[in-house]
A and B are shown apart, each in its own frame.
Chain A
Amino acid sequence: MSEKTYPIKKVSIICAKGTIEDVYAALVMGNGAVMEGIECNLFFTFFGLEAIMKKRMDKLHTGVIGNPAMRLPGGARMPSLLGIIPGMEAMVSSMMKKGVDKLDVPPVSEFIELFVAGGGNLYACKLAADMFKVKKEDLSEHVKGIITVGEFYEKAGGEGSHIIFT
């Protein structure tokens, strides 16, 4: 007797934050989906828009204040106060980028290209774009459209489909 399986056929992933780790989480999940033959929509909203803006996508940072999991290179917890030192955020961000590069994880722009080449779809949120005055021409040419939440749900539907908010 074989158990019935319910494979995932489509995932729609929402990325609302623009830090290195939030954007990579969404991209790894999205690219991983297309590599498995799962249809994928990536929807960027609020600060997540940075990840699909031509001039900003490869210049993302990691926040160093208010992150209790942040560690110093030796493994000790990083005191929150250190985060206010000028240049600390840039230094940590550069270390993060080197870290992902070592694992052969591409920069955001290249990652987006791999995702799209695999058949993945990229969308920007209309509300956030209006609020931050982001225009179509500011976005990567791979972005299929600036869409409303209603349109997002229409695209997200179907049998075996899931929505993930990262």
Chain B
Amino acid sequence: MTQKTYAGVTVDVNEEGYFTNPSQWTKEIAAAIAKEEGLELNDKHYKILEYLRTRFNSGEQLSIRGINKSGIVDVKEFYQLFPGAPLKKSTKIAGIPKPTSCV
């Protein structure tokens, strides 16, 4: 088990940097992880992070299709907000495990 310190709080992460205990997450921590990824979070980012965490907590599989149907953001904007690998990046910042879905 690896530990990392974000915004003065020590959290448990796996070797890829994903949280192993999502309850340790806070908004301040999210901002710190985002900074590490080169992102400055705005309201839209936070809305997406909340959506991802809600979905994760209710045991749902996260997918790019689900994001598109979320009503919060369309896929194009999602890619713009989390450039590169959006679902991987956003889940990392949201403090939840890396999605295992192929879509």
For residue A36, give the distance in angstroms from its CB to the closest CB of chain B: 5
A-B pairs under 8 A by CB, number: 46
Given A104-B103, A114-B75 in contact, is the A35-B86 Cβ separation under 8 Å? yes
Cα separation A149 to B99 with both chains bound (whole Å): 36
For residue A40, give the distance in angstroms from its CB to the closest CB of chain B: 13
Q: Is the CB of B64 within 8 A of A114?
A: yes
Interface of A, helix, strand, loop or mixed by DSSP: helix
Please give, as numbers and ranges, the residues of chain A lying within 8 Å of B102 by CB-CB distance. 28, 32
For residue B53, give the distance in angstroms from its CB to the closest CB of chain A: 19
Q: Does B61 reach chain A (CB closer than 8 Å)? A: yes
Q: Is the CB of B103 within 8 A of A37?
A: no
Which residues of chain B have a CB within 8 Å of any CB of chain A? 61, 63-66, 68, 74-76, 79, 83-88, 101-103
Q: List 24 A-B contacts (CB under 8 A).
A: A28-B102, A28-B103, A31-B64, A31-B103, A32-B103, A34-B79, A35-B86, A36-B85, A36-B88, A37-B84, A37-B85, A104-B63, A104-B65, A104-B103, A105-B65, A106-B65, A106-B103, A110-B65, A111-B103, A114-B65, A114-B68, A118-B75, A118-B86, A119-B79
